Amino acid sequence: METRKLSLSRGVFNVRDRGNENGTPFVMIHGWPETSFCWEALTPFLREDIRVIAPDLRGLGDSERTMNPDCYLKQELAKDVIEIIDALGIDSFYLAGHDWGGAVAQETAMAVPERVKKFVLMNMVVINNAEGNAEAMKIMQSMGSIPFWYQYFQQQPGLAEAMIPGNENVWVRYFFGKAGRDGRISKEAIDEYVRCYSIENTPATAAYYYRAMNRDNKHWAELAGTKFPMPSLYIYGNKDIVIIPQYLNHIESCFDDVKVVEVDAGHFLQEERPETVAALLNDFLRS
């Protein structure tokens, strides 16, 4: 995909664009510790009439490093996405998000539901699923919340900034585990994530995603009982140790129309199984 920088009122953002401007826009939002590069393996398998638009979120990839924690509330990051879409002259669009990008995508879908034609969520908490999230958290707490260690680490003031610089290669590669070591997730992709994490101030701006969680969660608790009105698809990588199956309990109460599909993959399912995930997307968007 082609990349370009957009200088907007909210900041400077790097955006990947498949370039077929007559295609139906499909806005795809990456998670942590990735960048918009995470959609590169999947894009060749998508239908030719789909125009992929993939921004780098604030503080990650090649977008600006804003040293203001308030900018990393997921509602605020959704405003960034909406401004990017507006700047590209796009009205209605398909929308997908993975990991933190899934939270930002949900906030985007909540903010402009009339513009989102179809919605895809991958391995992320459903933000209006208070009941299911509480059940999942109870399970995680019974395990000592060990899988959440990296979240607690980054929430500590100054710790990520002090310990990660100079160690980005070890830090980033750790999270891709065996799938990164055996090549299911490409070396090119992980090298790109290491490069971007090595940009000055990234340990801080990436940590702000986690330091905003308490305020995000208070906002999301207020969304209980709301529903996403657009046709939706949840694709679940079943080997994820952080987004466990209990997070999907009661998911049907959060959408007017949702289908859940399980994929034999870990957390980074769109990179581990790009052809499989693309086939699911093609079928969903066609229907």
pLDDT of residue 257: 98
In the chain, what is the greatest distance between 2 CA atoms, to the nearest angstrom? Answer: 51
The reported pLDDT for the residue numbered 53 is 98
Q: Does the model's pTM come out above 0.75?
A: yes
**178-216: burial string, b at 16+ Cβ within 10 Å, e else:** ebbeeebbeeebbebbbbbbbbeebbbbbbbbbbbbeeb
Q: Which domains does the chain have, with CATH numbers?
A: 2-286 (3.40.50.1820)
Contacts of 237 (CB under 8 A, 6+ apart): 122, 123, 263, 265, 266, 267, 268, 269, 272, 273
pLDDT, tens digit, 9 for 90 and up, residues 165-220: 999 999 999 999 999 999 999 999 999 999 999 999 999 999 999 999 999 999 99
Burial class of residue 114, CB neighbours in 10 A (0-12, 13-18, 19+): exposed
Q: What percent of the chain has pLDDT over 70?
A: 100
In the predicted structure, residue 287 carries a pLDDT above the cut 80: no
Average confidence (pLDDT) over 42-57: 97
Beta carbons within 10 angstroms of residue 144's beta carbon: 9
- Mean pLDDT is lowest, of 20-24, 69-73, 109-113, 192-196, for 20-24
Q: Give pLDDT, residue 162.
A: 98
Residues making up the chain, counted from first to last: 287
Average predicted confidence (pLDDT) for the chain? 97
Q: What is the pLDDT of residue 21?
A: 87
With cut-offs at 50, 70 and 90, classify the pLDDT of residue 86. very high
Residues 276 and 278: their CA atoms lie apart, in Å, by 5
Given the structure tokens 């906030």, which residue do they identify?
Answer: 107
Q: Go through 229-251 and write b for each residue having 16 or more CB atoms within 10 A of its CB, e for each that does not.
A: ebbbbbbbbeebebbbebbbbbb
| Beta strands 2-8; 116-122: pairing state | unpaired
Compute the CA torsion angle 270, 273, 276, 282 (nearest 10 deg): 20
pLDDT at 89: 97
Q: Are 100 and 121 in contact (CB under 8 A)?
A: no
Do the beta carbons of residue 254 and residue 88 sit within 8 Å?
A: no
Return the pLDDT at 4.
Answer: 97
Dist. CA 16–CA 78, nearest whole Å: 17
| 18-49 tens-digit pLDDT | 989 899 999 999 999 999 999 999 999 999 99
Q: What is the pLDDT of residue 240?
A: 97
Q: What is the pLDDT of residues 143-158, one digit of tens each?
A: 999 999 999 999 999 9
- How far is the CA of 16 from the CAs of 25, 102, 176, 237, in angstroms? 12, 18, 22, 24
- pLDDT, tens digit (0-9, with 9 covering 90-100), for 230-271: 999 999 999 999 999 999 999 999 999 999 999 999 999 999
Q: Are 165 and 172 in contact (CB under 8 A)?
A: no
Q: Which amino acid is at 15?
A: V
